[in-house]
Structure 1
């Protein structure tokens, strides 16, 4: 399943992903082969005023010719080094056209920056709120209520879908930053069944929201590693007295049917390429191979190490202190409060009463709140976040990758290579997408047909866009 979402970058209101310093990886100073003069010209990318990337050409540095049986003398080597430094500008970096250097700070950092609206845009936003549709109206001083639970899809959710949508969650955080009617966020976190990549993206939007100066409060009745990873980013963490705490660390388990199939006389025929490919191990092996164990151990160590570093930085505790505390076995909520892991022990209604007092709504019967699904229907245009003429196309594809749709498959099941290629080509060729300056291809897939993936990677977005490849996440 794949969809196209067009975003218009605003003047500092969009949070772009961090762009790596391409010049440091592309411009590598290499020695020329013997008997030949060597010239090198590599492309650099730097952000232009009207597009995401502007193409530049580097200066062609000429390298001296060296004879095979005549090594250079010490004086010649020193002279050559001085010439190289003069051509490089004296700091060891290859110059670009016009003797201008591409610095790290010239690329977008990806960090969210809170931009204050001027008096005209503020007046325009208030006017739009007055004439907004009934389902877009929110009472001033309301608290945005978001309940994270279970599966989180990478697709845009429909009105009748019960599954949480990651794009809508992130959009709601961004809209709440600039919405003067929203005073803060009440985040209820229950057991999550999504991957760590989605958890990390939600956490980044929590940190971005806190830059607005508004409060965000988390309530966690069932706490695991993922749930606490999100909750600690909010700053204020509340749990009920009967909360279930399961901070045991990370683990992975697999089941193998090789012995069962062997007893019934079934011999699976599996084609395997590479020792780290484990798709057929469940049917052929009786236990986990050393290579797969090595791979999974490396992944778990990386995720758990990042978890420890992030929590220690957030709670201002040492990494060893946190690791030793978890190894003792944490089952009681009182211990978490004593050690400073949570703010207080309160029930849900007590947290709401506390927020009423904080917002000066003691005279009201209930706390003014707006639900996540209702707030998802508030347009960015209403809040002055519509952006400019230049657009970024986001293609979201979820599910297993296949070449063609089977007769019994549901229209929204999996990534069909032919359909995805057509969408990419439509952006490149259609007049409707002339304003598109960049394409972001998001893949949420466990894998699938290798040939279908290869077909998709061969599609070129055009001369003004970067070439995209499918990445399995």
Structure 2
């Protein structure tokens, strides 16, 4: 018996010790979170823009890996814009140092908003200096907003134009013996989400739509760079076509950068601009921390006032049920819209959409809440990187729609996929299935093919959803259903083209949408007080994004890990698809 009790007490003490350590750790975290000293910084400070990842909303995560606890904080676009706006008026901030990592994980419309905020910051006559070892095209587009752009003498600026490369799986699917039963709107020839499953190259329609929006996005980049660097658009296109910019020296020769300097030489420039005694005494302020504490100040200020404009965030794929910071749940978002509608202090609603779409039924549930809200107060939509398919579905009833020139939108179309993996299982693994059913169509199985009658029934259902989609867009946009169909059929557009064909009303960012909403509600610009929905913030979020290590953790998230996480997220979204989808054909990533 003695060995048993010895083992029993040893195990009990071990579990008790582990529990005690866990409790003490939690107490320590809470104590640090609530006892943190006030954020302070000195005069002649430089705001160090050093983040790697940008999302629509700030997001903090704790990851437990074995014996380690890792934190990951992604700064939100809203916080970035607020920080730059605050720094413009902050007497302690002399300027901004854009020192981003090689790969900036952010969409092009997000970069456009940040760039516009930097240009506005420059109106204060404070300096903005950009520096990098290597500029990707997206990173350079952002950096070109600075009044001084420097490059490492051994580095380079990527400048070769935009392109798209798609992967097709039909050959693999055929070899595996899988029959992908694809049903899309009868005339949805641009709804190319399913093309990789049924073709081995791009269709004529898909090639056409892809070239159209790439041309629009490249044109917007060239326009911004041309204005900032005083280089004509024709010259910039010639540089890209001929690959004139191949290294650091040619980057300077063709005036994309002002000079080739090492980091220590750039720090000397910052030292002189801030009148610091030495490089070590330059007062750098981490951008993420500054943004966090300015966000807290704004919340405290707004608490004393009646919040009168609701900004409701719809971010991620659309599904039924509950949502999160990274995904739209019809139940969560509908509740947020309903709360804003019933709140008598809220005079107007801005719906900020950054979504490729998703479940058609869930999109319709959200659409209904937008329609009801529009009946009682103005509803303005602001589109982010993407507001397509189901994302456009929930936008179309709004009083006015804003998009950035490089926002991906449209994709008015629907599809469904029912794979038949029965032949593969039997041929490769010797697995067979059988069934019993009370009625002729009791089971829609992935192990046996649809009958012709079943295919016809599913096709009719998909066509009915597309008909309903185009009808609602027509009602919301003041168009005929035929006009909507002519620019629909699953076709994707960039914001500039979407403006020309009537899918959006004006080019601009979220600030433009908020200001217009205030005008509609007869609220003076100085009296605008924003309330954000849904309310995701909690004390752990505040703790993680307020720590000294916030900026350093950002740098540790490599481009490779970011891409892996994106792939895993995409796989997770695909596995959760149910029913007919109103979803963007693919994800557009500009580097």
TM-score w.r.t. the length of structure 1 is: 0.66
User: Which of 323, 327, 335 in structure 2 is aligned with 1:422?
Assistant: 335
CA RMSD after TM alignment: 2.4
User: Which of 300, 307, 315 in structure 1 is aligned with 2:229?
Assistant: 315
Q: Which residue of 2 aligns with 1:445?
A: 355
Decide whether aligned partners of structure 1 residues 309 and 376 sit closer, same or farther in structure 2, where only a CA change above 3 A counts.
Answer: closer
Decide whether aligned partners of structure 1 residues 154 and 413 sit closer, same or farther in structure 2, where only a CA change above 3 A counts.
Answer: closer
Deviations 1:110-149 (A, max 9, x none): xxxxxxxxxxxxxxxxxxxxxxx84332111110101142
Pairwise CA distance, 1:282: 1.4
Measured in 2, the distance between the counterparts of 1:136 and 1:381 equals: 11
Q: Which residue of 2 aligns with 1:89?
A: none
Decide whether aligned partners of structure 1 residues 467 and 326 sit closer, same or farther in structure 2, where only a CA change above 3 A counts.
Answer: closer
Decide whether aligned partners of structure 1 residues 397 and 180 sit closer, same or farther in structure 2, where only a CA change above 3 A counts.
Answer: same
User: Which of 225, 230, 250 in structure 1 is aligned with 2:162?
Assistant: 250
Gaps of 5+ in 2: 1-35, 62-70, 381-392, 396-407, 410-591
User: Which of 159, 171, 177 in structure 2 is aligned with 1:259?
Assistant: 171
User: Which of 88, 97, 108 in structure 2 is aligned with 1:186?
Assistant: 97
User: Which of 141, 145, 150 in structure 1 is aligned with 2:44?
Assistant: 141
Q: Counterpart of 1:221 in 2: which secondary structure?
A: strand
User: Which of 196, 200, 203 in structure 2 is aligned with 1:289?
Assistant: 203
Q: Which residue of 1 aligns with 2:4?
A: none
Measured in 2, the distance between the counterparts of 1:436 and 1:293 equals: 45
| Worse overlay, 202-211 or 435-444 | 435-444
Pairwise CA distance, 1:186: 0.6
Q: Which residue of 1 aligns with 2:88?
A: 177
Pairwise CA distance, 1:465: 1.5
Pairwise CA distance, 1:198: 0.6
Deviations 1:300-328 (A, max 9, x none): 11111122222112222222122112222
Decide whether aligned partners of structure 1 residues 363 and 252 sit closer, same or farther in structure 2, where only a CA change above 3 A counts.
Answer: closer
State whether residues 175 and 380 of structure 1, in contact with CA within 8 Å, keep that contact through their aligned partners in structure 2. no
State whether residues 144 and 371 of structure 1, in contact with CA within 8 Å, keep that contact through their aligned partners in structure 2. yes
Q: Counterpart of 2:281 in 1: which secondary structure?
A: coil
Measured in 1, the distance between the counterparts of 2:355 and 2:89 equals: 33
Deviations 1:182-224 (A, max 9, x none): 1111111332232211111111101110111111111122212
Measured in 2, the distance between the counterparts of 1:166 and 1:439 equals: 19
Pairwise CA distance, 1:393: 1.3
Q: Which residue of 2 aligns with 1:22?
A: none
Q: Which residue of 1 aligns with 2:77?
A: 166
Q: Which residue of 2 aligns with 1:394?
A: 311
Measured in 1, the distance between the counterparts of 2:224 and 2:261 equals: 25
Decide whether aligned partners of structure 1 residues 462 and 316 sit closer, same or farther in structure 2, where only a CA change above 3 A counts.
Answer: closer
Pairwise CA distance, 1:364: 6.6
Pairwise CA distance, 1:462: 5.6
Aligned pairs (5 A) from 1:21-420: 134-149=37-52, 151-158=53-60, 160-189=71-100, 190-273=102-185, 274-329=188-243, 330-363=245-278, 365-379=280-294, 386=301, 389=306, 391-405=308-322, 412-420=325-333
Pairwise CA distance, 1:264: 2.6
Q: Which residue of 2 aligns with 1:67?
A: none
Pairwise CA distance, 1:363: 4.9
Measured in 2, the distance between the counterparts of 1:368 and 1:411 equals: 37
After superposing on structure 2, the runs of 4+ consecutive aligned residues of structure 1 that deviate more than 3 Å are 157-161, 379-390, 410-413
Q: Counterpart of 2:139 in 1: which secondary structure?
A: helix
Decide whether aligned partners of structure 1 residues 420 and 384 sit closer, same or farther in structure 2, where only a CA change above 3 A counts.
Answer: closer
Q: Which residue of 1 aligns with 2:526?
A: none
Decide whether aligned partners of structure 1 residues 288 and 439 sit closer, same or farther in structure 2, where only a CA change above 3 A counts.
Answer: same
Measured in 1, the distance between the counterparts of 2:135 and 2:280 equals: 30
Pairwise CA distance, 1:338: 2.3
Deviations 1:89-112 (A, max 9, x none): xxxxxxxxxxxxxxxxxxxxxxxx
TM-score w.r.t. the length of structure 2 is: 0.53
Measured in 2, the distance between the counterparts of 1:413 and 1:326 equals: 35
State whether residues 393 and 440 of structure 1, in contact with CA within 8 Å, keep that contact through their aligned partners in structure 2. yes
State whether residues 457 and 470 of structure 1, in contact with CA within 8 Å, keep that contact through their aligned partners in structure 2. yes
Q: Which residue of 1 aligns with 2:433?
A: none
State whether residues 314 and 354 of structure 2, in contact with CA within 8 Å, keep that contact through their aligned partners in structure 1. yes
